[in-house]
Amino acid sequence: MIINRAVESMAIPMKDYGPDGIYPEGYGYWGYGTSFNVLFLSALEKIYGTDFGMTKAPGFLQTASFMESMTGTTGKPFNYSDAGGNGSFNPAMFWLANKVKDPSLLWVEKSYLKAGREANLVNERILPAIMLWKGNISTKDIKAPIATAFVGKGKNPMALMRTSWTDSNAIYIAAKGGSASINHAHMDIGSFIMDADGQRWAMDFGMQNYESLESKGVKLWGRTQNSERWDVFRLNNYAHNTLTIDSQLQVVEGDAPIINENKDPNFMQVTFDLSTVYKNQLASSTRGIAIVNKNHVVVRDEIQTLNRETKVRWTMLTPADVEIVGPETALLKKGGKTLTLKVSGAKNITMKTWSTNPPRDYDAPNPGTILVGFEAIVPANTKVDFDILLIPGSKSTIATPKVKPLRAW
């Protein structure tokens, strides 16, 4: 009776992997939820010789591709929602790779098994299961994946794009749409992270320890527009790589779907419709993010204001040192490398930086970080485009083509 009930009950949350493998709650909760899901499926197969059709849940067997693509070229994950900033070894990936007969899904896991990285495995409680789950896969069989882009829809649609799996200096971009109404979500709709030249330039704070907030009386789990959850600095849009309109919060009930995508290695891109996320703040908002010619990143925002003058704030959170070097340009420096942030084509913008010092006594400290971007005052009933170029120092001598309208992407 208990096993039958478990099979029926687990089919409900497994729907969240659909339609193509994205786990809405983020990197850390993928490791937690999927690991115990796989333990159960593995036990069923060994005892009964069947998984009772559970692996046929849409997106479940594709979720390994999603999880592998979540790790950037710096080895750090895309830590959206309530996730930590560090990567981890995931034994469940061995079961999934064996199930679909694709050793390349273990490319990231293989990096954790290299000599000198044993400390990353010590606390992995189900580590021994890889001896049962790897099947006939040998580490020498694990080659780099072929696909350099993963794009998925579902509750938290996103694109995970890179120029190489084997070059640690390659460009990596991860960008998301979705909604702040999802379990463990932040107001990070339209946000992105970026790796290049071995450094993380655009980052996400990720979660703040729950106990540090709950112990101070913060009602952390409300998801209405006026919930205390959105007062936490790390959780609202002010601290994410997205837009803030007239100093307002993103709309919790809003939802940003993917409306266009391209996996061409010379123009990998994803485009989101953010309009409902800025309901009653903007008439429309569309964001496209692309890796162009394998040498730089473009973030293009196309917005239309309502019948009032509007202040638009564009921010990018970074662990780099930042210097405003021109009316449209900032230079970022980290680890001996540089990244140029250039706003192209826009008028009447003011380049700025913002402190990440905690605004409230319960907010976690954020040392070594800063927000960089710009503000613009846009007249009423006006369409405006912002093109932001992110150019790694190693590519700064390469010409950057004019950015096309999103309809041409």
Predicted confidence at residue 189, as pLDDT, reads 98
Predicted confidence at residue 114, as pLDDT, reads 87
Residue numbers of the chain with a pLDDT score lower than 70:
none
Predicted confidence at residue 301, as pLDDT, reads 98
Predicted confidence at residue 46, as pLDDT, reads 95
Predicted confidence at residue 398, as pLDDT, reads 76
Domain ranges of the chain: 1-146, 148-409
Predicted confidence at residue 122, as pLDDT, reads 85
pTM metric for this prediction: 0.96
Characterize 350-376 residue by residue with b for buried, 16 or more Cβ atoms within 10 angstroms of its Cβ, and e for exposed.
ebeeeebeeeeebbeebeebbbbbbbb
Class of the CATH-defined domain 148-409 = mainly beta
Predicted confidence at residue 367, as pLDDT, reads 97
Predicted confidence at residue 6, as pLDDT, reads 95
Predicted confidence at residue 348, as pLDDT, reads 87
